[in-house]
Chain A
Amino acid sequence: MIKLKEKKFRIETDADAKKHPAFPKEDTIYNPLTREFIIKQKKISGKDWRLVHNGKKVIDLIEGKGITYTLEKCVEFKTRVEALKEIKILNLDTKEFEILNLDSKDLEGMVIS
């Protein structure tokens, strides 16, 4: 289950807004007239597999334990294989992620049905 928690705060200058790590994310809203900066924290608590990514690369692939909090994109899958298929479909970069949760051999030769 993914819940969104919105947080609003004021940022004094455009430059400061652009420096915020959440600035380029799709869920972030910045109004330069009001200086209002809105971020949406995602809270994922399901028991399924959680794929966290930024549209370009895998941020994390987590087996559902505890609660994951992120500003990145997050999708839940029933199985790890489904999550891996999504990674392949989206052509996400897994280089940074290496082998910690995601063995590269899992992605090689994967048949996407």
Chain B
Amino acid sequence: MSQALLDIRNATKIYQVGGGMFKDKREVVALQDFNLTIADKPATITTIAGESGSGKTTLANLVLGFTSLSKGNIIFQGKDTADMSPAEVIDYRRNVQAVFQDPFGVYNPFYRIEHIFDMVIKNFKLAKSTADVRERIEAALNVVGLRGEDILRKYPHQLSGGQRQRIMMARAYLIKPKLIVADEPVSMVDASLRAAILDVMLRLRDEENISFLYITHDLSTAYQVGDQIYILYQGSIAEKGLTTKVIDTPKHPYVQLLVDSVPEPDPDTKWDMDIELPDEETMRAGDAKGCRFYPRCPKGWEHCLSAAPPLYKIDSVDHEASCYLYEANEAAD
């Protein structure tokens, strides 16, 4: 069996917040014992879904190396990212790329668009000659429906958000990494352009064998492009499995609430009942024991407070949920 492309084991990230000379620091658990495996072949799109505070952004930062783990390991192609030499780090960067949410902030306003391409070509030694450089950039831009002569000499503020985000995808295509971490790539882009960007993602997966870690809060786009999905709630996995299975038949009460709250674009199907949100404080009890969702769970009972529920299998290996409702099923590994 080939080694996994990305293997995240028991990843935990704890932030120290607040504190000063006279106040104690508070611990916020952003990610707790998180496990994820992305196979080397075939290329897949793994969705990490969740609301704010779920830990999905933390996960992106960890995989991209912007922050380090408190506990656990991230292993990429057999090598632990914590033990990489500087040369291996460059190699890691070349193989793990990113597309970010904000199509404006990622461009340095001082430089023209060509700067972002030049940077990667130089650092990752992607081309052999000037002519080669130009050819590759042009090919990459064509994949997303843009042309070099329209784009390269312009400044970022002269282009639209949709164009800028497509250029980011072109950049990812140019590098041809093994894994792309796409952090909310379409949330700041107009609805009509989202399809174009998601389409590029699918093509990169199918034609170039690039896997994706697609991080989003939008279940509809996840449904359209994701193969596997992990739904996070306050740092832990609530439910995971095949995207269609999890969204069609959610088992965890939180995921059921989430799927139900997505507004249905059908005027005849309204939300069936009003829901209330509990107070902010009880929602974010980071040091609480037991299931994090308990304060909001319509089905919670005393047992849920004893310890955080592990993942249980739901009918097959393709679907697991961490809820004591399924304690009777066998525990997932």
Partners in one complex: no
- Name A residues whose Cβ lies closer than 8 Å to a Cβ of B: none
- Name B residues whose Cβ lies closer than 8 Å to a Cβ of A: none
